Structure 1
Amino acid sequence: MAKSRHSAIGRQPSRLRIMLVPPVTVVLGSMITALPIITDYPILPPMGLLILLAWRLIRPGYWTVWAGFPLGLVDDMFSGQPFGSAAFLWSVVFVLLETIDRKAVSRDYWQDWLIASIATVFVLVGGMLIVDLQSNMLRLDLLAPQILLSTLLYPFLTRFIGAIDNWRVAS
């Protein structure tokens, strides 16, 4: 007896999968910073931020402007930054991205990469200055490896998030 195969034509993807996959991936990315990696200087990229930027730049209409705030609070719980710093910085990034989206006619891959790199530098430098403005003002060179790794990792994360997005909306 042959099994009947159900056609995927006309089927809709799960509403739960469509709504939950992006925030869950951002939270999982933020949890990566809680791994027990011991170094003298910060080197691990802000994975939650990079995943959030990848989602935001791939699917501009998915996230609301205020979405950076609660996801930033979750990131603050795992990153060890002062509570509210990522929430504030991610919110500023989201407001700026919304402004760019309203002004720009269209963007390409290279512009998205540049926008994500600038946003990552802004969040990393802002986070370092929030921790201790006076002593960190002259120590911004410590962030160079983390900024470089974050910038180089972004295209790979974008492809990964694109594959997850294709699965998310597939029926």
Structure 2
Amino acid sequence: MAKAYRSRLNRQPSQLRIKVVPAVTVILGSMITALPLITDYPILPPMGLLILLAWRLIRPGYWPVWAGFPLGLVDDMFSGQPFGSAALLWSLIFIALETLDNRGVGRDYWQDWLIASLSIIFVLICGMLVIDFQSNLLRLEILVPQILLSILLYPFVTRLIGAVDSWRVAR
């Protein structure tokens, strides 16, 4: 009975929610690529990567540098890429972002969007080259719609993750 009437002041948010929600959202984003969508060319943006970048750029110190590796392995299970490719590429992105955070003073919205755009381009092109280097080297133009859709979708994903983050730390 007393629990129902306890004070609403000085309450702490749930530690489980604080620690689990970011990883679960990235995993759910990676699972979106497993939807049965059949196209001739890649069009579906890498939602796991977009959500990962949004979390990393909104909360720079939340994840350690090595966190890109296990989340990339989970993404590899759902995306159909060779196992370990997203783990390597996401780890490289985390190392680059950590280097930028250590050197930079601060960033604004446009710089975050530029960093995310360059990261998306890097991961998509390298992911395509990992599959078949020689035949895909001359066909990089088929990635243009996916790259553009991913870059244009990033602000929406960031807004969504910002709302999830507000819920995550709410009491």
Task: Give 2:61's aligned residue.
Answer: 61
Partner deviation per Cα, 1:62-92 (whole Å, 9 max, x = no partner)? 0000000000000000000000000000000
Q: Which residue of 1 aligns with 2:110?
A: 110
For residues 96 and 147 of structure 1, the distance between their equivalents in structure 2, rounded to whole angstroms, comes to 20
What amino acid sits opposite 1:37 in the alignment?
Answer: L
TM-superposed CA distance for 1:9, in Å, is 1.8
Identity of aligned residues (%): 75
C-alpha displacement of 1:5: 5.4
Unpaired segments ≥5 residues, structure 1: none
Alignment of 1:142-153 (within 5 A): 142-153=142-153
Q: What is the match of residue 15 of structure 2?
A: 15
Q: Secondary structure at the match of 1:158?
A: helix
> Does 2:35 correspond to 1:39?
no
> 1:50 Cα deviation (Å)?
0.2
Instruction: Name the residue aligned to 1:97.
Output: 97
Equivalent residues in 2 for 1:131-142, closer than 5 Å: 131-142=131-142
* SS, match of residue 33 in structure 1: helix
Distance apart, 1:8 and its partner CA: 2.9
Q: Give the AA of the match of 1:34.
A: A
Q: Distance in 1 between matches of 2:7 and 2:61?
A: 29
Aligned-CA RMSD value = 0.9
Deviations 1:95-144 (A, max 9, x none): 00000000110000000000001000000000000000000000000000
Q: Distance in 1 between matches of 2:157 and 2:7?
A: 32
In 2, distance between residues paired with 1:89 and 1:106? 24
The correspondence of residues 25-36 of structure 1 with structure 2, limited to 5 A, is 25-36=25-36
Per the alignment, in what secondary structure is the counterpart of residue 34 of structure 2?
coil
* Counterpart residue number, 1:160: 160
Deviates more, 1:6-15 or 1:79-88: 6-15
Question: Which AA in structure 2 matches 1:116?
Answer: A
Hey, what's the Cα distance between the residues in 1 that align with 2:129 and 2:101? 28
Structure 2: segments with no counterpart, 5+ residues: none
Paired AA for residue 160 in structure 1: L
With normalisation by structure 2, the TM-score equals 0.96
Residue 74 of structure 2 aligns to a residue in which SS?
helix
Distance 2:6 2:139 in 1: 60
Question: Quick one: which amino acid aligns to residue 166 of structure 1?
Answer: S
